[in-house]
Each structure stands twice: as C-alpha cells, then as structure tokens.
Amino acid sequence: MPLSVNTNVGAMLALQNLAKTNGQMEKTQLAITTGLRVSGPKEDASSYAIAQNMRGDISGLQSVKSALANGEATVNTAITAGQSVADLLTEMKAKVVQANQAGLDAASRTSLHNDFVALRDQISTIVATAEFNGTNLVNGSASATSVLSTIDGSTIAVSAQKMDATTLAIQSQVLNTSAGAATALTAIDTAITSVSDKLAALGSVSKRIEVQSEFTTKLTDILKAGVGTLVDADLAEESAKLQSLQIKQQLGVQALSIANSGPQTILALF
C-alpha cells in the first residue's frame, strides 16, 4: 500500500470499526436503561409489531377485569341483601307461628302484628338500599343487566331477582286476626322458598363472574409474560456485552491513533 498524506486507508478502517462499536454501545446502553431488547420497530420490526398487538389485548383485558369486578360487586350486593331478607323472613315466620296459637289474646296478637310489620318494613328498607354503582337487582323496579366478559364483547346475563314485600306477596298480610295469621303462614312459607330460589340464581351468576374474572387475570398474566419474552432485555447479558464493548472501544481509539500516526513516517523519507 503506497504512503499518502491525502488518503489514510488504515485510519478510515479504524474509524469505521470505532463507529460500529459506538453504535453497538449505544444500543446496549439503551437496553440497560429501558430494560427492553426491542424498544422500537428499528430493533426488531416483527417482534415489535407482535408485542404491540399483545399490549392492545392486555389493555382490553384490563377493561374486562374492571367490568367483571363491578358486575361481581353488584351481584354480591344483591346476595347480601337477599340473605338479610331471608333472615328477616325467618323471624317473621316465628311471629306468624306464635300468632297462630289457639286462644291467643288480642293484646298479644296486636303486639305480634306490630313486630311483623316492623320486620316487613325493614325488608323494604334493605331492598331499597341494595344498590351498587346505580344498579339494584332486588327492588321492585329491578331489571336485568349484563356484564362484559371478553374483549370481543361477549357478556354474562344477570337476571333481576326482586325481593320486595309486594313481589313476595307479604305486603298485605296481618296477624291481628286468627284468619289473617293462618293466611300469613302460607304466604311466609312461599316467600321463604322464593327468596331461597332467587339467592341460588344470584349465587350461580356470581360464581360464573368470579370464574371468568380468574380466567381473565390468568390470560392477562400469560400475555404479559409473552410480551416480556419478545421484547425484554437480558440485563445480565447486556451488562457483560457493555463491558466487552467498552474494552473494544478503547482498542478502537488506540487503533485509530496508530493509523493517524502512519503518515508521519513519510517525514523520515526527507
């Protein structure tokens, strides 16, 4: 290779290699800083595109989880109210059975009737306040609703389970007469059976929502792990690579210095 002060091929090669090393160091430092092997489409276009699609699914599943949580809370509110209604009906039956005693005096019958009415009024209070996020599944005007269950828009249907005194046919029952007490006993038995059936229906849909919520959580975790496999950096590997590149960079600087000093040998010819 001829000696020339105009063209230093050795310096050009050393500079090219040094620039390459610097580029690799920049990429490695970015991976360490962000924790990502693929932080943009330039690093790995296909992996980046797949990861972005999976991130979209994860975002959608997060919204589904929120909807399921709200739905489960709504149903559980109705279940709690229904259990309270069932307990009150049990107490009311005790009053009715006492009122059906032969030879019961009028004062005692009136007292039992007043207790019966107080318990019935408490049912009305509970049913009216059993609301979550604007939805009440057990009051007299309750209507069916639905809960989002998948990112493609599928839903879980939730039927209304009315448990107000009118629906249970106990609104007009009285205990202050013997005939009224006898009629009330039949009505209370029917109401207890009805509330039990309604609670079973609510419990079934609550369990379904719970299972779907657990599945959604697991699916979200799987997708997150998949995204991590695609784009996360191995920090131990990147750290070792950075140390290697730092040494290589130092050697590149020395090589460039040596190449730049080459043309000075021309002075020895004169």
Listed ranges 102-111, 177-186, 237-246; the one with the highest mean pLDDT:
177-186
- Model confidence pLDDT, tens digit, residues 108-158: 989 999 999 999 999 999 999 999 999 999 999 999 999 999 999 999 999
State the pLDDT confidence band at 3, using cuts at 50, 70 and 90.
low
Is residue 214 in some structural domain? yes
- In this structure, the answer to whether residues 167 and 202 fall within a common structural domain is yes
Can you tell me the distance from the alpha carbon of 268 to that of 260, in angstroms, rounded to the nearest whole number? 16
Is residue 23 in some structural domain? no
Task: Determine which of 57-66, 100-109, 203-212 has the lowest per-residue pLDDT on average.
Answer: 100-109
- In this structure, the answer to whether residues 93 and 131 fall within a common structural domain is yes
**Dihedral angle computed from the Cα positions of residues 57, 62, 68 and 74, in that order, rounded to the nearest 10 degrees:** -150
Is residue 193 in some structural domain? yes
Where residue 219 sits, what CATH number does that domain have? Answer: 1.20.1330.10
Give strand ranges (E) for 70-223. Answer: 145-148, 155-158
| pLDDT of amino acid 17 | 87
Is residue 38 in some structural domain? no
State the pLDDT confidence band at 199, using cuts at 50, 70 and 90.
very high
- In this structure, the answer to whether residues 246 and 127 fall within a common structural domain is no
Q: What is the mean pLDDT of residues 237-259?
A: 85
- In this structure, the answer to whether residues 64 and 102 fall within a common structural domain is yes
Is residue 100 in some structural domain? yes
| pLDDT of amino acid 253 | 85
Is residue 52 in some structural domain? no
Percent of the chain at pLDDT > 70 equals 96
Percent of the chain at pLDDT > 90 equals 62
Burial class (CB in 10 A: 0-12, 13-18, 19+), 128: middle
| pLDDT of amino acid 90 | 96
pLDDT of 264 > 80? The answer is no
Structure tokens at 64: 């589904």
Torsions phi, psi for 130 (to 5 deg): -80, 65
- In this structure, the answer to whether residues 222 and 244 fall within a common structural domain is no
Is residue 44 in some structural domain? no
Q: What angle do CA 70, 168, 196 make, to 5 degrees?
A: 60
Task: Determine which of 81-95, 220-234, 242-256 has the lowest per-residue pLDDT on average.
Answer: 242-256
- End-to-end Cα, the chain, rounded Å: 19
CB 51 within 8 A of CB 195: no
- In this structure, the answer to whether residues 150 and 244 fall within a common structural domain is no
- In this structure, the answer to whether residues 106 and 212 fall within a common structural domain is yes
What is the extent of the structural domain holding 270? 233-270
- In this structure, the answer to whether residues 161 and 126 fall within a common structural domain is yes
Nearest CA to 27 out of 238, 252, 237 is that of 238
Can you tell me the distance from the alpha carbon of 94 to that of 226, in angstroms, rounded to the nearest whole number? 60
CB 188 within 8 A of CB 96: yes
- In this structure, the answer to whether residues 170 and 190 fall within a common structural domain is yes
- In this structure, the answer to whether residues 169 and 253 fall within a common structural domain is no
DSSP state of 155: E
Task: Determine which of 69-78, 216-225, 240-249 has the lowest per-residue pLDDT on average.
Answer: 240-249
State the pLDDT confidence band at 22, using cuts at 50, 70 and 90.
confident
Which amino acid, one-letter code, is at 7? Answer: T
Burial class (CB in 10 A: 0-12, 13-18, 19+), 59: exposed
Nearest CA to 65 out of 179, 147, 5 is that of 147
Is residue 252 in some structural domain? yes
Torsions phi, psi for 155 (to 5 deg): -130, 160
- In this structure, the answer to whether residues 77 and 208 fall within a common structural domain is yes
Domain count, the chain: 2
- In this structure, the answer to whether residues 270 and 165 fall within a common structural domain is no
Q: Which residue has the higher pLDDT, 6 or 106?
A: 106
